[in-house]
Structures are given as structure tokens and as C-alpha cells.
């Protein structure tokens, strides 16, 4: 699971803009944002760089990870 959609919303950035910056199609970015498809590690790092966030911020922890802390 990832938090791409949440971070885009927090930053006021559209999926279309990210798709252009990533040189990817809008449907691909939309699938990433809706967790229908997960980006490759390379794309995840590129998204983090473009959005100026740590790659860890893009990854959503599971309930088990949260409860283990």
C-alpha cells in the first residue's frame, strides 16, 4: 500500500501533473494512487524525489506494523 494519493492531495498536486513529470500515462499514475497497481522501486524513488518527500512517507504501514510499535 502506498500514500501517493494522500500526499498529492496534501501538496495540492494533480495526478496529471505527476504523470507528466514521471513521463507516465495518467491511467498508470491513477492506478498507483488508488493502490490498484504498485510502482516499481525505481518509480517510487522518482515519485519521492519529484514530490520532495522521503520515500518512507510514500509507504503506508500495515495495521500489524502500527500495533507492533
Which pLDDT score, from 0 to 100, does residue 34 have?
Answer: 96
Share of the chain above pLDDT 90, in %: 84
Residue 10: C-alpha distances to residues 4, 7, 19, 34 (Å): 10, 5, 17, 16
Which pLDDT score, from 0 to 100, does residue 32 have?
Answer: 97
Structure confidence by residue, pLDDT tens digits, 36-47 = 999 999 999 999
Gap between the Cα atoms of 7 and 18, Å rounded: 11
Which pLDDT score, from 0 to 100, does residue 63 have?
Answer: 54
Q: Which three cell numbers stand for residue 59?
A: 509507504
Q: Which CATH class is domain 3-52?
A: mainly alpha
Structure confidence by residue, pLDDT tens digits, 44-62 = 999 999 999 999 999 976 5
Nearest to 43 by CA among 13, 6, 10, 4: 4
Rounded-to-5 percentages of helix, strand, coil across the chain: 65, 5, 30
Amino acid at each position: 500500500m502506498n500514500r501517493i494519493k494522500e500526499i498529492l492531495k496534501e501538496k495540492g498536486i494533480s495526478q496529471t501533473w505527476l504523470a507528466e513529470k514521471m513521463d507516465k500515462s495518467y491511467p498508470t499514475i491513477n492506478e498507483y494512487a488508488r493502490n490498484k497497481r504498485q510502482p516499481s522501486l525505481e518509480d517510487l524513488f522518482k515519485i519521492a524525489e519529484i514530490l520532495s518527500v522521503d520515500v518512507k512517507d510514500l509507504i503506508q504501514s500495515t495495521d500489524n506494523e502500527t500495533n507492533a510499535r
